[in-house]
Amino acid sequence: MITYEYVNVRQFLPMNKWHKSTLVIFGAVIFSTVAIQASDILRNIDGNLVGSAIESGNVCGEGAEPITLGSGTLCVDLYEASAGTQCPVSILETSADTQQNMNVIECTTQSESEVLPWNFVSLTQAQQLCARSGKRLPSADEWYNLALAMGNQTTCVTNGSSPTLTGVSDCVTQSGIHDMVGNVWEWIDADVSDGSYNNRTLPESGFVHLVDSDGVVVQTGSVSMEEYGSDYAQTSQEGVRGVVRGGYYGGGDDSGIHAQNLAVPLDLRTVGVGFRCVKSL
C-alpha cells in the first residue's frame, strides 16, 4: 500500500517546475482568442460571493464560521479537516490509518489549529467523514468564491517537504479561513467524466489562462499567466475523475487559488491530499 500511495504522489500531484520546463521545451499550445476576458469572468460573479463572516454565536460549532455567499449562508470549517479526539489514529501515515479511523463510528473530523491535516483519504471517504458531523464537502463554486478572499499567498505552505500543522502560517482569507492554498490539496464535491465538466469539455493540461464562475479552467496555455498566479491545471480526457483544488505543500508557484487537478482517481489516497467540510444554513 505504501508503494502505491507514493507512486500516486508523483503521478497525480506533479504541478511543479517539471511541467513548466517540459511545456516550454516541447512547444506552445495554440489556443483560440475568446471574447470574454479572464478579468470579466471574475468581475461578473453574482453578488458578493467572496463572502464575509457574520455574527456567529455558536451556530456553526467550534472551528467554523458562517460566511455569506450570494443570497445564502454557509458554515465553513476554518481549518483543514483533522482526526477528532475519538479517532484511534491522530497522525495519519497510510491509507490503512484512515480505514482504521473510519471503522470507529465515534471517530469524526475536527476543525482545529496546530494539528496535522487528515490526509491519505479518498473522495468517498472524505464525503463520509464530513457527513458524520452533519456536513459535506464544498462544491466547486463554493470553494472558489471562498478562496477569492485570500490575501498574500506567498505565506502559504507551498515549498515544503511534508504537510505542516493547520493554521500556523499567515495563509488566511479575509473571513479567517486558513490554508486554502497549499499544505494539502482539498477534495471538492465535483467530478469529471471523460474530460467533461458540467457538460463542457475541458482543455488539455496547461497553465490556467481562463476560468469559469466555478473557478474551473476554461482555457490553458504553455506560458504561465501572472493574472492567475502562474497556476497550473491538470486534466484528463478518460474515465471518471475527481477534483482537488489549491495546491499542496510541495507545489511551489503552481499552487494557488486557481491551481486545480481534475485528473485524480476517485480512490486516490496520498500524503498530499486532504479536505475541508462545510454546512449549509
Write down the domain spans for the chain. Answer: 2-280
Is the pLDDT score of 12 beyond 60? no
Specify the pLDDT at position 152.
84
Which of 8-17, 213-222, 250-259 shows the lowest mean pLDDT across its residues?
8-17
Q: Virtual CA dihedral for 261, 265, 269, 274, nearest 10 degrees?
A: 40
pTM of the model as a whole: 0.81
**Residue range 53-63: mean pLDDT, rounded:** 70
Which of 181, 170, 144 is closest to 274 using CA atoms? 181
Strands 109-110 and 82-83 turn out to be: antiparallel
Neighbour count for residue 74 (Cβ, 10 Å): 22
Which of 60, 11, 44, 14 is closest to 232 using CA atoms? 14
C-alpha cell at 8: 500516486
pLDDT, tens digit, 9 for 90 and up, residues 142-185: 999 999 998 889 999 999 999 999 999 999 999 999 999 999 99
Q: What is the mean pLDDT of the chain?
A: 84
Is the pLDDT score of 39 beyond 90? no
Is the pLDDT score of 8 beyond 70? no
**Residue range 32-61: mean pLDDT, rounded:** 44
Is the pLDDT score of 216 beyond 80? yes
Specify the pLDDT at position 13.
53
Specify the pLDDT at position 54.
46
Is the pLDDT score of 17 beyond 50? no
Is the pLDDT score of 277 beyond 90? yes
Position with higher pLDDT, 208 vs 56? 208
Position with higher pLDDT, 262 vs 52? 262
Neighbour count for residue 232 (Cβ, 10 Å): 30
* 89 vs 113: CA distance, rounded Å: 17
pLDDT, tens digit, 9 for 90 and up, residues 123-142: 999 999 999 999 999 999 99
Neighbour count for residue 155 (Cβ, 10 Å): 13
Q: At what angle do helices 123-132 and 95-102 cross, to 10 degrees?
A: 30
Instruction: Name the fold adopted by 2-280.
Output: paralog of FGE (formylglycine-generating enzyme) (3.90.1580)
Is the pLDDT score of 49 beyond 90? no
Position with higher pLDDT, 37 vs 206? 206
**Residue range 47-58: mean pLDDT, rounded:** 45
Which of 140, 143, 118 is closest to 129 using CA atoms? 118
Indicate the pLDDT class of residue 121, thresholds 50, 70 and 90. very high
DSSP-assigned beta bridge partners for residue 76: 65, 278
